[in-house]
Amino acid sequence: MSDTDRRWTEAETATYRDLSRYAVPQRERQIALIVDRVAAAAVPGDVLEICCGEGLLTAALLEALPDVRVHAFDGSAAMLAATRERAEAMSGRLVTRRIDLAGRDWRRFDAPLRAAVSSLAVHHLDGPGKRDLFADLHATLAPGGVFVLADVVQPATAAGNAIAADLWDQEVRGRALSLDGNLEGFEAFRRADWNHFRHKELDPIDQPSTVVEQLDWLRAAGFVEVDLHWMTAGQMILSAVRP
């Protein structure tokens, strides 16, 4: 397998599930912000979640929007199983599907969508892949539909990279103390060498783009009201609306 063919593995899924409660900055705030942004889209239709992971955001969307069906897609069978288990009480409004993020066959729906959301996944696509995804999502959304993206970004400067690295360590340290009262979670994060802002070279699976690039690509795809809502530690939430 070449570097350009690098794919996420189930071993990495297991590591993510172990560390994500510490490694995702302000996780609860992020989920609440995304859900609120989707709830504000006053148009009918289903919601798509791209790379649903273990289903935290999926369950939050289903709970907050009792009349909405959520399509939760992921490349990991283990993650999809975890999502189905977490949302079991609302399974009648849940559709799951295993996908290849870079593929385009899963980006077509029978009816326009109210919203599409993604958390910590799109950075696995290169620049052209992100541009294609943004254009395809624009085509799937109903007029007034919203796309909400939470993701890792690439700082534009060496100074920005150093700041992101320090902030991420601080966020994880703080979450470990808050959740467990000790630093074992932070030490696990360090042992796993997850703070890629400290790496000289990125793992080929990680291809983050800058904030500015992604805002520009969304506008080029036809989105309006493109805006950055939250950012820390090299991670952001933005949204865009199909006019």
Give 4's pLDDT tier (boundaries 50, 70, 90): very low
What pLDDT score does 8 carry?
57
- For the chain, percent of residues with pLDDT exceeding 70: 95
Cβ atoms < 10 Å from Cβ of 6: 14
Question: pLDDT at residue 79 above 50?
Answer: yes
What pLDDT score does 217 carry?
98
Mean pLDDT for 112-136 is: 97
Question: pLDDT at residue 179 above 70?
Answer: yes
Give the mean pLDDT of the chain.
94
What pLDDT score does 10 carry?
63
Mean pLDDT for 172-178 is: 98
Question: pLDDT at residue 13 above 80?
Answer: no
Give 6's pLDDT tier (boundaries 50, 70, 90): low
- C-beta of residue 55 within 8 angstroms of C-beta of residue 82: yes
Task: Give the pTM.
Answer: 0.93
Q: Of 119, 194, 117, which Cα lies nearest the Cα of 151? A: 119
Give 80's pLDDT tier (boundaries 50, 70, 90): very high
- For the chain, percent of residues with pLDDT exceeding 90: 90
Question: pLDDT at residue 17 above 90?
Answer: no
């409660």: which residue's tokens? Answer: 21
Give 82's pLDDT tier (boundaries 50, 70, 90): very high
Mean pLDDT for 26-52 is: 97
81 burial (CB, 10 Å; 0-12 / 13-18 / 19+) is middle
